[in-house]
Amino acid sequence: MMRILFNEELANFNEILNHILGVVFIILIFSIAYAYLKPHRLHKRRPWSTLLLKGSYLLYLMVLLIVVYFSALVKGGLEVVFSGIEFFAFLIVLFAPSVGIFARKLAQFSKKREEYNYFFTTVNLVSVAAVLLMYFL
């Protein structure tokens, strides 16, 4: 009898620990992204497009981290929530906005930075919608 109670308490402790580590992971990743992007510092010539790009990326990242957290720890895993072709769509949505935010400082985009910012703002918002649709449907 005591052994069964101990195993149940240990399983409950492991589940609680996983949830706590998940929240710490979300806070850590979001803090690193915020520190890298510095959304409070805007470009002098294109403040609106820069603000939209950085804000939409942080929104995308927050939604993505929360969906991954709930998928992994509440609904049984990413392979359960995103099965089949949805998993490949999820991978595209996972990497496309991050590539856009890191590639923005390349020399090829310096002449058309404002258009680039608006394009990837749209990509970020579409990615948010896609992640939410895949998660809830």
* pLDDT one-digit tens code per residue, 42-77: 778 888 988 999 999 999 999 999 999 999 888 888
> Residue 81 phi/psi, 5° resolution?
-75, -45
Q: Provide the percentage of residues in the chain whose pLDDT is more than 90.
A: 56
Give mean pLDDT, residues 37-45.
85
Q: Is the separation of the CB atoms in 117 and 50 below 8 Å? A: yes
Strand, coil or helix: 49: helix
Give Cβ neighbours of residue 90 (< 8 Å, ≥ 6 apart). 78, 82, 131, 134
